[in-house]
Amino acid sequence: MKTFLRRLSTVVIAGALCSLLTGCWDYRAINTRSAVTGIGFDPVPGTPDKMRITIQVPILSQSAGSSTSSSTPGTNDAFENISTEAYSVSEALRSLQTQMNRQPDIAQLRIIVFNAKLSPQMMDTAVAQLIRVPTINRLARVVTTPDNTQEVFGVKGTDTTPMGFLDQAFNMSEQGYVVSRELWQYWRDATQVGVVPVVPIVTASSTNGGNGNRLTTAGVYVYLNNQISFTLTRKQTLYVNFLTGNVKNMALDVPVQSGEAALTNVSVNRRLRCFSQGNHVVLYDRVSISGTLAKVPSATPKPIPPTDLNWLQDEVSKYLAEQLMETIQTLQQHRADVIGFGRIYLQHHPEEEAKLKAQWGEVFQHAKPQIVVQVRISSKGELI
């Protein structure tokens, strides 16, 4: 009897487990889906709670080897932009599906474009909704434009789709003048203590011939409480990247006395520290810069002696230390810690989280910056 009951229980358990093996019950064929590569958010005039949401999807029949597709720069039409007005992202996707013959798939989302005119409330709700959508790609990059997002989505002066162009542009190895921010990074910086989020600026401008447009990056917007506080220029963005160690394999010209020194293969390492010293907080950053000499300040073709190379390293160090200090002071004036000193301070003083959440901007403004710059210049393939 015991053997029978044991076998019966085994059969019942096996049957229950088999009922869970439902297979690909939610499978959808690829030809019934449209991969959304970009999504844009614009305010709706007169309706503060509603957003105009635009998506960009590739036209596979033209981009997948069709004889009707165009490979001429500036004439790429292998994408479609669809817009709707809605109070939420999920409502917008349902509305957009009624304009399409496929299911919009946001799992492959690459670029999220925010209009700079979005209110803090709309910016907050847009980011929160995107984070909550379980199928969305949280590695999608976020950018901001002072233009209408439809202008960015409609650019045809690239060899790929506008969203594909931006995705490739932010994958460049030479990242000194731009900042790449993914969706999860913006959400982290906007919700955590001790760091302020930044978003790169993208604009659509006309080409010289007037036959198309081009997309360009123009510094970053600094956000405080999901609202644009101020703008960092391309040059200031470069120095922020120096302070955060996000410079790799780029070229750099540095004014030295009456001439210019040029460096290539410039890479940066940094070590951040933030600690209390008396009644003040110290912002310490040791920036180590390495590069290859490409041009000496003078026009002489003769090799420079080691003493002159040491002098050149000192001059470059002084110049960059001044620029980095000015950048830190600009950030302090706006109480905007985009470097992340506060996050490091919090790691060593977790008991002060409530205080830092309420007062870090003021503490950062009155902190004492200490920037140490070390430059090492080498020459490959020929004598110094």
Q: What is the pLDDT of residue 66?
A: 39
As given in the structure block, the two tokens for residue 71 are 């490979």
Q: What is the pLDDT of residue 183?
A: 95
- Say how many C-beta atoms besides its own lie within 10 A of residue 102's C-beta: 15
- The alpha-carbon radius of gyration of the chain (Å, integer) is 26
Q: How confident is the model at residue 131 (pLDDT cuts 50, 70, 90)?
A: very high
Contact between 226 and 123 (Cβ < 8 Å): yes
Total-model pTM: 0.83
**Whole-angstrom distance, CA of residue 305 vs CA of residue 291:** 18
Helices (H), the chain: 2-20, 60-63, 89-97, 120-132, 149-153, 162-169, 183-191, 234-244, 306-333, 341-348, 353-365
**Whole-angstrom distance, CA of residue 171 vs CA of residue 277:** 40
Residue 210 has pLDDT above 80, yes or no: no
Q: How confident is the model at residue 173 (pLDDT cuts 50, 70, 90)?
A: low
Q: What is the pLDDT of residue 248?
A: 87
Q: How confident is the model at residue 55 (pLDDT cuts 50, 70, 90)?
A: very high
Residue 327 has pLDDT above 90, yes or no: yes
Residue 202 has pLDDT above 90, yes or no: yes
In this prediction, residues 348-353 reach a mean pLDDT of 90
In this prediction, residues 57-82 reach a mean pLDDT of 57
Element (H, E) at 120: helix 120-132
The pLDDT tens digits for 295-321 are 887 766 566 666 778 888 999 999 999
- Say how many C-beta atoms besides its own lie within 10 A of residue 302's C-beta: 8
The proportion of the chain whose per-residue pLDDT surpasses 90, expressed as a percent, equals 48
Is beta strand 227-232 parallel, antiparallel or unpaired with respect to 213-224?
antiparallel
Is beta strand 47-58 parallel, antiparallel or unpaired with respect to 79-86?
antiparallel
What mean pLDDT value characterizes the chain? Answer: 84
Residue 22 has pLDDT above 70, yes or no: no
Q: Which of 29-38, 164-173, 281-290 holds the top average pLDDT?
A: 281-290
Q: How confident is the model at residue 216 (pLDDT cuts 50, 70, 90)?
A: confident
The neighbouring-strand residues paired with 274 are: 283
In this prediction, residues 232-244 reach a mean pLDDT of 93
* Across 124-138, 163-177, 228-242, least confident range: 163-177
The pLDDT tens digits for 255-294 are 987 788 899 999 999 999 999 988 889 999 999 999 998 8
Q: How confident is the model at residue 69 (pLDDT cuts 50, 70, 90)?
A: very low
Residue 13 has pLDDT above 50, yes or no: yes
In this prediction, residues 331-339 reach a mean pLDDT of 95
Q: What is the pLDDT of residue 64?
A: 42
Q: What is the pLDDT of residue 204?
A: 87
As given in the structure block, the two tokens for residue 166 are 């931006």
**More confident call, 279 vs 6:** 279
Domains with residue ranges and CATH for the chain: 29-232 (no CATH), 240-384 (3.30.300.210)
**Whole-angstrom distance, CA of residue 260 vs CA of residue 6:** 87
In this prediction, residues 24-30 reach a mean pLDDT of 54
Half-sphere CA count of 128, side-chain side, radius 13 A: 9
- Strand, helix or coil for residue 203: strand
**More confident call, 313 vs 214:** 313
**Whole-angstrom distance, CA of residue 195 vs CA of residue 338:** 5
In this prediction, residues 19-30 reach a mean pLDDT of 55
Q: What is the pLDDT of residue 300?
A: 63
366 Cα distance to chain centroid: 28
Q: What is the pLDDT of residue 21?
A: 58
Q: What is the pLDDT of residue 156?
A: 80
As given in the structure block, the two tokens for residue 357 are 């959440």
